[in-house]
């Protein structure tokens, strides 16, 4: 398991003092105040992972998702939180849609070694599920997870303490599925001379995943992070995004206000406010071979994404009375994906994905 224990010291130290409260230098009083404000904001963003992890746990406990590792990362002794049916359903759709895009990528050209980079991965379980699912295949995969140091430390502790996960990492490693957990503030990739991410193989077809991650950054920084990968990986590359959209209607405005009152600022939301804007952003990021975007409501209602019998199954799990609210909530989140290179074209252009021309009707 390769890792970067302290990447901030590598990157010229522009933000080197932030996470460690100015250790090593003596900050002026003003610096300290601005520093603590920013540190507070960072903490709020880091804690969004707990929300995601709780929601995942709730959806797993009720049978929406099958994920044996959700409990391990959530904590065996922690009481399973109760989430409303619409949150469970949304968590389900989000997970399934991204799983599917990932699977299509991994299934195409099965002998080719591939790479996945999960931005702000937090307590995500996808790699461990992939190791389970690929036991019969000869999948070769390099899997990177990037997150704040605090989140990475928590995950590392869980990995160390769980015999099951340690075993899984080893058996995966033996089969050619390697896992790298990096403590890295994504903003450090946006500076002039950014650090190298150890073990990132620029020659492999690479899929970036951002589940509610880039949206917390200023849009210039978010774009610079994508540029970083675009420059380092000359070949096939793709990005799958899961983000809120439509901040300008009544529900969207309330969402922005409510999250702001919790200290959560969705900094790219207004810029990438529609499915079309999300696709345009992917195009501009150099993922020029194809882009598509669907909101969660579309994904849920589309038989191609959600088999009717599967929809029927999950509608039986809980009595969902909040139909109008579901439609509101689900139409304010989207999955967007864009790519360049043949591997992704083969994976996505035919089924479920779409070319740039076809996806106009999805807006």
Partner 1 sequence: MSDLDKAIAQLRACRPIPEIQVRELCYKARELLIEEGNVVTVDAPVTICGDIHGQFHDLMELFRVGGDVPDTNYLFMGDFVDRGFYSLESFLLLLCLKVRYPDRITLIRGNHESRQITTVYGFYDECLRKYGSANVWRYCCEVFDYLALGALVIGAATELEPTDAPFADPSHATTVSEGDEVEVELLNSAGHIVTRHVRDRYIGQSSQLSNPPSSPSQTREQTPSRNGAPGTGATGSSHGSSGNGGGAVLCVHGGLSPLIDSIDKIRLLDRKQEVPHEGAMCDLLWSDPDEIEGWGLSPRGAGFLFGADIVKCFNHKNDLSLICRAHQLVMEGFKEMFQNTIVTVWSAPNYCYRCGNIAAILELGEDGSNAGYAPRSNGDVERSHGASNGVLTERMDKLKGPGRRYRVFEAAPQDSRGMPAKKPVADYFL
CB 334 within 8 A of CB 279: no
CB of 218: closest distance to partner 1 in angstroms? 18
CB of 75: closest distance to partner 1 in angstroms? 16
| Contact set with partner 1 (CB under 8 A) | 48, 51-52, 54-55, 81-85, 87, 90-91, 94, 212, 242, 244, 249-255, 258-259, 262, 264, 315-316, 318-321, 323-325, 328-329, 333
Nearest alpha-carbon partner for 287 in 188, 221, 353: 353
Which two tokens mark 17?
């003092």
CB 113 within 8 A of CB 149: no
How many other CB atoms are there within 10 angstroms of residue 318's CB atom? 16
Nearest alpha-carbon partner for 182 in 357, 362, 11: 11
CB of 111: closest distance to partner 1 in angstroms? 36
Nearest-10 Cα torsion for 252, 82, 96, 219: 40
Known binder of ligand: residue 31? no
Which two tokens mark 213?
């991650």
CB of 144: closest distance to partner 1 in angstroms? 22
CB of 71: closest distance to partner 1 in angstroms? 18
CB 293 within 8 A of CB 350: no
Nearer to partner 1, 83 or 126 (CB): 83
Nearer to partner 1, 64 or 229 (CB): 64
CB of 97: closest distance to partner 1 in angstroms? 12
Known binder of ligand: residue 340? no
Nearer to partner 1, 190 or 264 (CB): 264
Nearer to partner 1, 8 or 125 (CB): 125
Known binder of ligand: residue 94? yes
CB 323 within 8 A of CB 256: no
From residue 290, give the alpha-carbon distance in Å to each of 115, 238, 282, 286. Answer: 19, 9, 9, 10
CB of 29: closest distance to partner 1 in angstroms? 31
Give, rounded to a whole angstrom, the gap between the first and last alpha carbons of the chain: 42
Nearer to partner 1, 48 or 178 (CB): 48
Nearest alpha-carbon partner for 72 in 134, 154, 148: 154
Q: What sign has the CA pseudo-torsion 320, 324, 325, 326? A: positive
Nearer to partner 1, 149 or 211 (CB): 211
Known binder of ligand: residue 315? no
Nearer to partner 1, 82 or 170 (CB): 82
Known binder of ligand: residue 211? yes
Q: Which residues are annotated as a binding site for S-adenosyl-L-methionine?
A: 94, 120, 185-186, 211
Q: Which residues are annotated as a binding site?
A: 94, 120, 185-186, 211
């Amino acid at each position: 398991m390769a890792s970067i224990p302290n990447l901030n010291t590598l990157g010229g130290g522009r933000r080197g003092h932030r996470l460690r409260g100015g250790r090593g230098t003596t900050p002026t009083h003003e610096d300290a105040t601005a520093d603590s404000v920013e540190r507070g904001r960072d903490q709020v963003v880091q804690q969004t992972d707990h929300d995601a992890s709780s929601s995942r746990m709730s959806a797993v406990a009720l049978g929406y998702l099958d994920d044996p590792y959700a409990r391990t990362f959530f904590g065996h002794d922690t009481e399973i939180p109760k989430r409303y049916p619409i949150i469970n359903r949304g968590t389900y759709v989000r997970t399934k849609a991204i799983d599917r895009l990932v699977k299509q990528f991994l299934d195409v050209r099965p002998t080719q070694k591939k790479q996945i980079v999960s931005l702000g991965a937090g307590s995500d379980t996808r790699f461990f599920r992939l190791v389970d699912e690929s036991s019969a295949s000869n999948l070769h995969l390099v899997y990177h997870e990037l997150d704040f140091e605090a989140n990475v430390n928590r995950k590392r502790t869980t990995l160390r303490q769980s015999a099951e996960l340690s075993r899984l990492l080893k058996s995966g490693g033996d089969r050619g599925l390697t896992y790298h957990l990096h403590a890295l503030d994504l903003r450090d990739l946006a500076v002039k001379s950014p650090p190298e991410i150890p073990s990132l193989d620029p020659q492999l077809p690479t899929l970036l995943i951002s589940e509610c991650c880039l949206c917390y950054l200023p849009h210039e920084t978010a774009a610079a992070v994508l540029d970083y990968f675009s420059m380092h990986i000359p070949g096939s590359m793709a990005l799958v995004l899961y983000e809120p959209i439509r901040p300008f209607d009544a529900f969207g405005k309330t969402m922005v206000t409510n999250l702001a009152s919790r200290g959560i600022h969705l900094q790219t939301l207004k810029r990438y406010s529609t499915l079309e804007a999300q696709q345009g952003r992917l195009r501009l990021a150099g993922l020029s071979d194809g882009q598509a975007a669907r909101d969660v409501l579309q994904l849920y209602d589309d038989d191609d994404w959600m088999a009717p019998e599967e929809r029927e199954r999950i509608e039986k799990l809980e009595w969902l009375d909040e139909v109008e609210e579901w439609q509101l909530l689900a139409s304010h989140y989207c999955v967007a994906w864009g790519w360049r290179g043949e591997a992704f074209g083969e994976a996505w252009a035919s089924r479920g994905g779409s070319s740039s021309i076809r996806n106009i009707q999805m807006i």
